[in-house]
Homo-oligomer: A and B are copies of this chain.
Amino acid sequence: MRRLLLVSAVALIAAAPPEKPKTPSEIVAEAPASAWRDISADDLLVMELRNGARVVIQLAPQFAPVHVANIRALAKGGWWSGAAIYRVQDNYVVQWGNNESTRPLPAGVVAKPPAEYHRALKGLAVRPLGSPDAYAPSAGFAGGWPIGYDPKAGTANLTHCYGYVGVGRDLSPDTGTGGELYAVIGHAPRHLDRNIAVVGRVIEGIDRLSPLQRGTEALGFIKEESQHVPISSVRLASEIPAAERPAFQFMNTQSATFAAYLKGRANRKDDFFIRPAGGVDLCNVNVPVRRKP
């Protein structure tokens, strides 16, 4: 079989001759240590599934502080014991949780959090995307996260990109506690932006969620409880003994390295490409994240 060169964002490509522009992968591989930021162990949620998969979620307390505090309290309070993935909808979401109607919330969990669907733009150092966006007046990056923002209204919101994690809720004004979460496994459902609290992103193991068997009921719910995917544990990295604790870094989106990476993502010039787009969708940029070296 021909091994076709349909390259992807994550492909590691051999170093090109110096006259060629660096590929996005090369820019990330050669990024200086100063371009990276450690992720706090309190911002890492480690979910182990009974099938052996491990999923690591980076939390975004700067965008949804009450929901993130809830998620931490839920983890510490043993909420996820007995929980399972009960919904897998193609080109949409994987969703997991526990029974909020019968199970008491652990101490410290706010039962009715505020609608943390956006925050003040003020206080954020923004790197503009430089391409138009269908869902927000402007799009860009702040603190390592993709955002939509509205300079006139002075608001900014996390966006529903692939792998991003939101809080399941019922009809408004319910905002969800964080006791049921979902991760995006398809084309970014950006119409959910500013309608749901986005609380983070899967930074390792999304490829263990996305291949799960799709549920056959409406909205991808899994019909038989015996077919649910049981969760073994959900812990903050800070609860894990230091020696076993995973550690990650994300790229500082204000760094010159990220600026070069963003430019490269919008103007793909790998040998494969004959027409660089000259633009890029917010959810196709993928802020680089890595295991801490």
Provide the bound-state CA to CA distance between A195 and B117, in Å: 37
Question: Is A38 among interface residues, defined by CB-CB distance under 8 A?
Answer: no
- Of the listed stretches A56-64, A70-78, A92-100, A243-251, name the one at the interface; the rest are far from the partner chain: A92-100
- Of the listed stretches A26-34, A126-134, A255-263, name the one at the interface; the rest are far from the partner chain: A126-134
**Interface residues in A1-58 (C-beta closer than 8 Å to B):** 1-8, 11-12
A271 and B93 contact, Cβ closer than 8 Å, known pairs A4-B180, A221-B3: no
Number of A interface residues at 8 Å Cβ cutoff, please give it: 79
Interface residues, chain A, CB within 8 Å of chain B? 1-8, 11-12, 86, 88-93, 95, 97-101, 115, 117, 129, 131-135, 161-163, 168-172, 176, 180, 182, 186-196, 206-207, 210-214, 218-221, 265, 268, 271-277, 279-284
Complex A-B: 21 CB contacts under 8 Å: A1-B180, A2-B170, A4-B169, A4-B170, A4-B180, A90-B207, A91-B206, A117-B275, A134-B277, A161-B187, A162-B186, A187-B283, A187-B284, A190-B284, A191-B273, A191-B277, A194-B274, A194-B277, A195-B274, A207-B214, A281-B281
